[in-house]
């Protein structure tokens, strides 16, 4: 049986790349990074400014959990602390690639059952980006207006409606 591939943020972009190359049953993309063609490539000076390794402080997570909660209000203090703990070093090269534009054959993916989810409070990958990607893929689109990027997946109180939306999609497609 073919897998359903789920990706969040950069993982959504990776999921699309995988689905181009391997047989998958469906795609579920939570607030994904946009591929080339749906985003403007960053100017060269922006690409050069990206550090080779992103640590918590470079991505804004080396602060008090209360401050994170102000930016992602659907996270509890415990959620913010858990995400902080999980945040480690991230690849600057991967970030540069995303900013430059990673090509994805959206037409090839249009044959798959796909669900794209956007968070109305997402500062990293705005809901409009998710909606644009859903339209380009011919995918189903769900907007969770009170969820942030991390709240879609890691919010103790905010992930349940998202999980229910994913479950419903999978059941409708008998996956």
Domain boundaries, the chain: 4-172
Copy the structure tokens of residue 55: 């640590």
Q: Taking residues 21-44, what's their average pLDDT?
A: 95
Mean pLDDT for all residues in the chain: 91
Residue 90 has pLDDT above 90, yes or no: no
CATH fold of the domain at 4-172: Rossmann fold (3.40.50)
pLDDT tens by residue, 50-87: 888 776 565 566 678 788 888 889 999 999 888 887 77
Distance (Å, whole) CA 59 – CA 137: 29
- For residue range 134-159, list pLDDT tens digits in order: 999 999 999 999 999 999 999 998 99
Q: Kindly list the strands in the beta sheet with 4-8, ordered across the sheet, starting from the edge strand earlier in the chain.
A: 4-8, 26-30, 114-119, 140-144
Quick one: pLDDT at residue 163? Answer: 97
Q: Which residues pair with 142 in a beta bridge?
A: 117
């Amino acid at each position: 049986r073919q897998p359903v591939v789920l990706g969040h943020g950069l993982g959504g972009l990776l999921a699309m790349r995988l689905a181009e190359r391997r047989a998958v049953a469906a795609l579920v993309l939570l607030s994904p990074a946009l591929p080339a063609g749906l985003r403007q490539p960053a100017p060269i000076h922006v690409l050069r400014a990206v550090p080779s390794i992103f640590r918590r402080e470079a991505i804004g997570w080396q602060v008090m959990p209360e401050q994170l909660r102000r930016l992602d209000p659907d996270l509890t203090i415990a959620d913010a602390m858990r995400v902080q703990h999980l945040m480690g070093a991230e690849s600057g090269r991967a970030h540069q690639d995303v900013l430059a534009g990673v090509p994805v054959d959206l037409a090839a993916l249009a044959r798959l059952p796909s669900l794209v989810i956007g968070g109305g409070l997402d500062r990293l990958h705005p809901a409009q980006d998710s909606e644009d990607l859903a339209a380009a893929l011919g995918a189903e689109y769900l907007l969770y207006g009170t969820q942030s990027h991390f709240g879609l997946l890691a919010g103790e109180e905010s992930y349940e409606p998202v999980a229910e939306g994913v479950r419903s999609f999978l059941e409708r497609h008998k996956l």
